[in-house]
Amino acid sequence: MRLTVIGTGYVGTVHAACMADIGHEVLGIDIDAERIASLSAGHAPVHEPGLSELLARTVRSGRLRFTTSLAQGSRFARTHFVCVGTPQRPDGKAADLRHVDAVIDGLVPHLRPGSLVVGKSTVPVGTAARLGRRVATAASDCQVAWNPEFLREGSAVHDTMHPERIVVGVTSERADAVLRRVYGHMLRAGAPYFRTDPATAELVKVASNSFLAAKISFINAMAEVCEAAGADVRLLARAVGADSRIGPRFLAPGLGFGGSCLPKDIRAFTARAEELGANEVVALLNEVDRINTRQRARTVELARKLVDGDFTGRRIGVLGASFKPGSDDVRDSPALAVAEAMQDEGAHVRVHDPEALDSARAARPGLGYALDVHKACEEADLVLHLTAWPEYGRLDPAALAAVVRRPLLLDARNALDEESWRAAGWHLHALGRPLRHEADLAVDGVS
């Protein structure tokens, strides 16, 4: 089939390259001419495992091309995927749909009869119906369907090629048939396929993200109880997660979630639920958001306690800048929020990250950065582990101890091997875990 993918950011680039790789002819469209030129040369716009190789391969094959022209896209195909961003509005919690609306406004004058516009952007429920009325004013039998994406940064290529489910919100048999043909490769491999109405498809995405966010906030709320009770949240999470009705995934206690999806999606869902009068959902999601944001403050509070209640003049080494491992995305990064909060209180902060230093420098230019872990921690009074990159789990604790001023570590992700770090002389602390020795808070003068 011939397809267009409108919007060549994270979701659009991955979708376009994967669709071309399974045999479709794909034309990627974006208003950013510089990005289009880079993509046409086979260069991925983001760090995502496997994407660079996939993009280069599909561009070389000729099945994937790029343009800035919606008119050219309409001449090229009758099936158009909309993959532009829907960030949080600057004046509130609701999703900003300007980019989605701009695509529809630009595409409608060029649509050919029988065109299908397929939304993949995360939008408030009711958006597809509103856009459908606009698209219906174009050429005959033009329709809108909604096909939400469920990509995880760090495994987006795999998630697209081997989806856990495909959800399509359609209003006709023809739209359903088109999307079954688009995803035929995945369906033949056994991917579950859910045909719904557009409103349900829109809600599936935000409901899924809200549930995952609620699991994370739940275990972090339990971490605070564990601290007060002298219990260990890691052991609690393992035992709770062993229940097959609950499962262990997303029960990782620590600094909480960030990124471009979960925070803004639950806030946009809250705003839409409030508009619809679903007040119980509003209360639930507001609390999920509050607990998650509170984890950042709690991390700063514990770090402050570990340096005798005052960051002024303290040297802090920070391990991690991206909001999660496997990505260079620093949007709403908990790690950078904590680093900046400590620096605002007078600390000298130096941040390391395996992939996200350029993104972090652009987002938070006032922080210090280091290309080498040991340089980031040199003469540090405290080291914070804020992003759970596998590289940090493979560090030599003894070698790192040799460069710091105090072997004092706050593992805000509960991901490092406690015994090996303690054996190397480190005093390790974490959210939701009791202190093993009261003397740990009096290391080299720290009380």
DSSP letter string, 61-100: HTSEEEES-HHHHHHH-SEEEE----PBPTTSSSB--HHH
- Give mean pLDDT, residues 345-356: 97
pLDDT given for residue 153 in this prediction: 87
- Give the H/E segment covering residue 203: helix 198-229
Enumerate residues 6+ apart whose C-beta is below 8 A from 407: 401, 424, 425, 426, 427, 443
* DSSP state letters, 305-351: HHTTT--TT-EEEEE--SSSTT----TT-HHHHHHHHHHHTT-EEEE
Q: Is domain 296-445 classified as CATH 3.40.50.720? A: yes
Q: What dotted CATH number matches 205-294?
A: 1.10.1040.10
User: 402, 320, 330: which is closest to 359 by C-alpha?
Assistant: 330
Residue position matching structure tokens 């599909």 = 58
CA distance readout (Å), 120 to 62, 80, 414: 24, 10, 34
Enumerate residues 6+ apart whose C-beta is below 8 A from 279: 273
- Using DSSP's 3-state secondary structure scheme, residue 383 falls into strand
- Give mean pLDDT, residues 107-117: 97
2-6 and 25-29 beta bridge pairing: parallel
- Give the H/E segment covering residue 225: helix 198-229
Q: Is domain 2-196 classified as CATH 3.40.50.720? A: yes
Dihedral of CA 404/406/411/417: which sign?
positive
pLDDT at 331 over 50: yes
pLDDT given for residue 260 in this prediction: 83
Query: Binning pLDDT at 50, 70 and 90, where does residue 439 land?
Result: very low
- Give mean pLDDT, residues 229-234: 94
Question: What is d(CA 149, CA 143) in angstroms, rounded to the nearest whole number?
Answer: 19
Identical fold for domains 2-196 and 205-294, yes or no, is: no
Cα torsion through 213, 337, 441, 352, rounded to 10: 110
Query: Binning pLDDT at 50, 70 and 90, where does residue 129 land?
Result: very high
- Kindly report the average pLDDT of the chain as a whole number: 95
pLDDT at 22 over 70: yes
- Give mean pLDDT, residues 351-373: 97
Instruction: Dump pLDDT digits (tens) for 377-432.
Output: 999 999 999 999 999 999 999 999 999 999 999 999 999 999 999 999 999 999 99
Active site residue 261: yes
pLDDT at 437 over 50: no
Residue position matching structure tokens 């980031």 = 376
| Type of residue found at 214 | A
- Give the H/E segment covering residue 26: strand 25-29
Instruction: Dump pLDDT digits (tens) for 251-302.
Output: 999 999 998 889 999 999 999 999 999 999 999 999 999 999 999 999 999 9
pLDDT given for residue 382 in this prediction: 98
Neighbours of 119 (CB within 10 A): 29
Question: What is d(CA 186, CA 155) in angstroms, rounded to the nearest whole number?
Answer: 17
Neighbours of 192 (CB within 10 A): 11
- Give mean pLDDT, residues 200-224: 96
Instruction: Dump pLDDT digits (tens) for 41-60.
Output: 999 988 899 999 999 999 99
- Using DSSP's 3-state secondary structure scheme, residue 179 falls into helix
- Give mean pLDDT, residues 152-159: 93
pLDDT given for residue 435 in this prediction: 63
pLDDT given for residue 106 in this prediction: 96
For the chain, give every domain's residue range: 2-196, 205-294, 296-445
Instruction: Tell me how long the chain is.
Output: 447
- Using DSSP's 3-state secondary structure scheme, residue 155 falls into coil
Query: Binning pLDDT at 50, 70 and 90, where does residue 434 land?
Result: confident
pTM for this one? Answer: 0.90
Task: Round the CA-based radius of gyration of the chain to a whole number and report it.
Answer: 24
pLDDT given for residue 433 in this prediction: 86
pLDDT at 307 over 90: yes
User: In what side-by-side order are the strands of the sheet with 143-146?
Assistant: 64-67, 25-29, 2-6, 79-82, 116-119, 143-146, 166-169, 193-196
Dihedral of CA 161/210/102/68: which sign?
negative
pLDDT at 445 over 60: no
Enumerate residues 6+ apart whose C-beta is below 8 A from 387: 319, 320, 321, 322, 323, 324, 325, 333, 335, 353, 413
Give the pair of three-digit tokens for residue 202.
């829109």
Q: Which of these is catalytic: 18, 83, 226, 261? A: 261
Question: What is d(CA 137, CA 143) in angstroms, rounded to the nearest whole number?
Answer: 10
What is the percentage of the chain residues whose pLDDT exceeds 70? 97
